[in-house]
Structure formats: C-alpha cells, structure tokens
Amino acid sequence: MEMMDWWVSMPKVELHAHLNGSVRNSTLLIILIPSFDFLHFHLLAFELREDLTKFELYYRELAKELGEKGIIVFSEVEHVILKNDRSLTEVFKLFDLIHILTTDHATVTRITKEVVEDFAAENVVYLELRTTPKRNDSRGMSKRSYMEAVIEGLRKVDVFDIDFASTKNGLEEKGKSGQMIDDCVGFSRTKIYVRLLLSIDRRETLAAAMETVKLALEMKDLGVVGIDLSGNPKVGEWITFLPALRFAREQGLRVTLHCGEVPNQEEIHAMLDFLPERIGHACCLEEDAWRKLKNSKIPAQVPHNLSSWSGESFVVWASGLGLHITPEIDSCNNLGLMGNAGLLLSIIFNFAADLYNTNHPLILCTDDTGVFSTSLSKEYAIAATAFGLGKKEMFQLARTAVEYSFVEEQVASKLKDLFDLLDKSLAYND
C-alpha cells in the first residue's frame, strides 16, 4: 500500500473545519462562473506550473472573472492573489472573497453536501463542521434560513451514510444504520457522523452573536453541539461576545475559541481564564500564557515560542485542537517568520516531544481544506514525518480526538469502539 493511501484509509476525526474554507475550488468555479473555460484554465495551469501554484492560478482566474462581472474590484485583491507569502490579513481577504461567492441557499446546500462527502471519502468518521450563519437581505437569507440550507445539504449526502442528529427527536440517519463497524472493517466504511458548531464572527455585534446562540439552541436536535468564536483576529474584541458565550455555556452548549492567532496577550489570558472546552490556533502564546494553557489542560496544541520558528516550505500553526501544517501558506507571516524548513522540522519535533511528555491533548485538523489546498490525510502524513511518529502513534492520535469532540457520549463510545476494532486489524508494518 502506498504511504498516502494508508493515511487516507486510516479512520480520522476532524474537529476544526470551516464550511466556507473547505469549499472545492472546482465548485466555486462551476457555480459562480458558469462560462468559465476549464480547458483554458488547465492549459494555463500546465504552462505556468513552474511559476505559480495551482492555488494562485485559481484565484487569479477567479478574481479576473469576478472583476469583469463587477462582483469584486480586481485591483484591490490582485496583489493578494498573486503573492505566495500572504500575511494573515491577506488570507482573510481571500476568505472575504469566498464569502461573497457563497451567499445563496442553493450554494450553501451544495457546498455542505460536497464538503461532508469529501471528508467521508478520506475516512473521516466524525466531522465537527463549523459555519457562521449569515444574513443576506438582498438574497432573502436570514441566519435561520442559512442554517436550514446547511441542514438540507446534510440531508442530500447520498454517496455515504450520514448521521447528523444529536437526539432521537431530530434523528436524521440515512442509509444502513447500525452497520458502521461492519462497514469499517477492511476500510470500506460508508458512514460519517456530522455535528455542527455555529460560529460567531468577530465582525458581528453582540445582538447578532446572541441570535446565533439562540439559533444553535433551537437546532440542538439537528446536531448543533457548540459555539465557536472566529473571524479576523485583528478585528473586534472578544470581550464583546462574552455575554453570548456565557449564555451559550449556561444553556449547555460547548464553546471553542480561536485564540492567540495574533500576539494579543491580554486577550489570550482572558480567553484562557474563560476555560473554553477547546481552543484553536493559539500560535502566539508567550511563556506565562503557555504555562496557563498547560495547567488548564484545555484541549489545544500550540507551537511554543513561535517567534523563534522559521520555515520556507512549511508553516505550522495550531489549528482546532492541534497543529495545522500547511505547505506554502504563511498565516503568521506578520510575525516576520522566515528561515529554512529543516530547522522548522527539528523545532516541531522538539515541540511534539514536549506535548507527548506532558500529555497535553494534541489533535490534527485541517481548518480550511479548500483555502489551504490540504486534506486531513495530508496533515497526518506531514505530521508523522515532522514528529517522527509511526502509524500506530498517529492512529492513537486520531482516536484521542474523539474524547475532545462535542458529540454525545453514545456516539463517542461507538467511535471509540470502532477505532479499537480497527486497531486490531490494521497492518501497521506495511
């Protein structure tokens, strides 16, 4: 078996995936630019492959098309699209671009279905998918109707069996129920469990955040299990949303925060003091915040003392609960990180050793498979090399993620049983 095939076939758990960031590039092109010339695009990609990544090509072509249609002002985003060392601010400009493109119900339904099927296709057995319910008056979209479109997308998943409800009242289970373990033996798994997190965007008002939390509560029966705070970390203050986050917690929703994406130590400390059930990213923690995190045992995994990190080929940042390893995308470029990949890998190794020694929760996530052109299997493959860990250890890493998920105990225990069963049948030495 090819090594990459092994990582694909291994059951995995994804706890930090944004719906919009996981959209297939091809779907964006097909839906939004029906006249897009794919043949021309591929020829161009072939001709220029030495100079530009597919990612850049894609966005360049997309932006040109959208510019011609007057949807965006190309000159404003051109420099972001063409460069390959984007700053965090510039990455968020790309997110804004995608948000412009995904604001009608049919598109939301379609991308939800496809994102779930893409994860299922690489043997993700449990997916916690997060999205910001959006209001778009010009399209007749409310936060509620946005979420209904998401649920419709889950219902439309037909290539694989899906379970996306958290209670019997809202039970939505398609396909052959109860055969998950049988199906998984021999890696012919056909079922994926999906739960949802509703995100509050840092650009929103407290009133909008409260609306999101109330919506999440109303949709508990449809598999909404928690609230996330995300968005451009340079925008807004997290304290604005504290009342909504507290309310969510009081009402039994789990809370996860994007924390420490930029070195705002005051905010990082306040977030850690809130004791969220999980934090994501956490790449800019100074010594005392790092200590606080480790003492708290909040599930998170963070690169320690990032300002000393460096890398041209890889950028590593903690994502979801764990590390996010993305080739050629430098999310923390604003910290001025440059250097060589070899040094970076050795730092990663030391970092991973520290995590193992202290038993702090470590979980690998993709964050945004589309924007960063990655997959969970790829993240596991890169991490195994970077950490110097074997298949067995990586398998255990995936299994542990179940414990930090927000899924109901009954499903968590089914998933753990599945991992245990597969553990006995996997050929780790191939």
Residues that bind Zn ion (CB under 5 A): 367
| Strands 314-319 vs 278-281: parallel, antiparallel or unpaired | unpaired
User: Nearest distance from residue 319's CB to Zn ion, in Å?
Assistant: 6
Which residue, judged by CB position, is nearest to Zn ion in the bound state?
367
Neighbours of 378 (CB within 10 A): 20
Q: Which is nearer to Zn ion, 180 or 257 (CB)?
A: 257
Burial of 287 (0-12, 13-18, 19+ CB in 10 A): exposed
Which regions of 208-275 does DSSP assign to beta strands (E)? 224-230, 254-259
Neighbours of 269 (CB within 10 A): 16
312, containing H or E segment: none
- Report the distance separating Cα 54 and Cα 173, nearest Å: 37
Closer to Zn ion by Cβ: residue 277 or 367: 367
Query: Which of these, 213, 196, 211, 99, lies nearest to 154 by C-alpha position?
Result: 196
Q: What distance in Å separates the CA atoms of residue 137 and residue 173, rounded to the nearest whole number?
A: 32
CB of 65 to Zn ion, least distance (A): 27
Least distance to Zn ion from the beta carbon of 95, Å? 10
Q: Rank residues 61 and 367 by Cβ distance to Zn ion and give the closer one.
A: 367
In the bound state with Zn ion, the residue whose beta carbon lies nearer, of 118 and 367, is 367
Q: How far is the CB of 196 from Zn ion (least distance, A)?
A: 15
- Alpha-carbon distance values, 105 to 20, 140, 145, 220 (Å): 13, 9, 8, 21
In DSSP notation, 32-60 reads H-TT--HHHHHHHHHHTTTTS-HHHHHHH
Which residue type, as a one-letter code, is found at position 277?
E
Burial (Cβ within 10 Å: 0-12, 13-18, ≥19) of residue 51? exposed
Both tokens of 5, joined, read 């095939």
Assess contact for 106 and 146: CB atoms under 8 A. no
**CB 15, min distance to Zn ion, A:** 10
Which contiguous run of DSSP H or E holds residue 386? helix 376-387
| Catalytic one of 148, 261, 267, 277 | 261
The CB-of-35 to Zn ion minimum distance in angstroms stands at: 33
The C-alpha atoms of residue 389 and residue 125 are separated, in whole angstroms, by: 22
State the Cα–Cα distance between residues 126 and 112, nearest whole angstrom: 15
Nearer to Zn ion, 183 or 277 (CB): 277
Nearer to Zn ion, 184 or 284 (CB): 284
Given the complex with Zn ion, which of 90 and 367 has the nearer CB atom? 367
Give the tokens for residue 336.
Answer: 């001025």
CB of 396 to Zn ion, least distance (A): 24
How far apart CA 191 and CA 157 sit, in angstroms, is 11
Q: Which is nearer to Zn ion, 306 or 345 (CB)?
A: 306
168-180 in b/e form (b: 16+ CB < 10 A) is: eeeebebeeeeeb
Say how many C-beta atoms besides its own lie within 10 A of residue 1's C-beta.
10
261 included as an active-site residue: yes
What residues are labeled active site?
261
